[in-house]
Amino acid sequence: MALRFPQLLKVAEEQQNSKYSSGGKMIPTPEEAATFQPQVVAEGGWEKCWEDGVTPWDQGRATPLILHLLDSSSLPLGRTLVPGCGGGHDVVAMANPERFVVGLDISEKTLKKASETYGSAPNAKYFAFMKEDFFTWRPDELFDLIFDYVFFCAIEPEMRPAWAKSMYEVLKPEGELITLMYPLIIFHLLFRITDHVGGAPYKVYVSAYEAVLVPLGFKAVSIEENPDSIPTREREAWEVEKDQLIQERSDLTL
């Protein structure tokens, strides 16, 4: 089985320096977030971030890419997981009779807020919020689809192999993992397009995903520039990874 990575479309080379408003919420650039978010996390963890309102990753609405995939009927159906779901906007947007969505987070405060916000939504019976640690939690039933946006970039880089292992263990053998890669670092000619140091969010490369997913048998179905990136998050691309059938995993070649 050969690994196939389609060409990565050119990502916008310049990122706007000014904040962007999404539904009245100011969304900082990754550089800006990396200057204040790590200190809050270090002092009291992600729960303190929610308590103090330091949540630059929360757009206050569903991710534009998810809305685009829904509008174009391109999002797979079936049992779906959103690890690190935060405010739950993507969870609710995706949920329908043919796609039950589980939103996972370790923050009790954010899940309480999500439940209060969306508990009376018309599609409430098609989603659930759960307080669990993604790295140790194992569901009774595996998932057809997993969507990861600002989860991979929020964890320490040394935890990425554990991230991949958990993805492997909760996704069905024929399931799909959609990762919105952010903040994406790419190389163009002689210039490295980044001024982002530290984290969270930690900078990511396509190769960072390859390094932890390929050994487990994941195959890149597509890697594309995100056409719906908000201005302060222009360094994004989205990738679909397919978890191959178990009998194929031992035959993976690069």
45 occurs within a structural domain: no
Phi, psi of 54 (to 5 degrees): -90, 80
Phi, psi of 74 (to 5 degrees): -100, -5
pLDDT at 199 over 60: no
Angle between helices 30-52 and 108-118 (to 10 degrees): 80
Summary count for the chain: helices (H), strands (E): 7, 11
Take residue 86 and report the two structure tokens written for it: 């935060």
3 occurs within a structural domain: no
pLDDT value at residue 60: 74
Omega of the bond leading into 34 within 30 degrees of 0 (cis): no
Nearest to 137 by CA among 162, 108, 173, 174: 162
Mean pLDDT of the chain, nearest integer: 72
pLDDT value at residue 177: 93
Q: Residue 96's domain is classified under what CATH number? A: 3.40.50.150
Choice among 17-26, 54-63, 226-235 with the minimum mean pLDDT: 17-26
Residue-wise pLDDT tens digits, 25-38: 444 444 444 443 44
110 occurs within a structural domain: yes
The top-scoring range by mean pLDDT among 55-59, 123-127, 171-175, 235-239 is 123-127
pLDDT value at residue 23: 47
17 occurs within a structural domain: no
Residue-wise pLDDT tens digits, 37-47: 444 444 446 56
> How far apart, in Å, are the Cα atoms of 220 and each of 10, 47, 58, 215, 252?
17, 34, 27, 12, 12
CB count, 10 Å around CB of 152?
Answer: 25
14 occurs within a structural domain: no
Alpha-carbon distance of 78 to 75, in angstroms, equals: 10
pTM exceeds 0.75, yes or no: no
Could you give the angle at the alpha carbon of 131 between the alpha carbons of 152 and 87, nearest 5°? 65
Residue-wise pLDDT tens digits, 149-171: 888 988 889 999 999 999 999 99
Residue-wise pLDDT tens digits, 225-245: 766 554 433 444 445 555 443
95 occurs within a structural domain: yes
Domain count, the chain: 1
222 occurs within a structural domain: yes
224 occurs within a structural domain: yes
> How far apart, in Å, are the Cα atoms of 190 and each of 124, 149, 187, 234?
50, 29, 7, 20
- Which range of residues forms the domain containing residue 185? 60-249
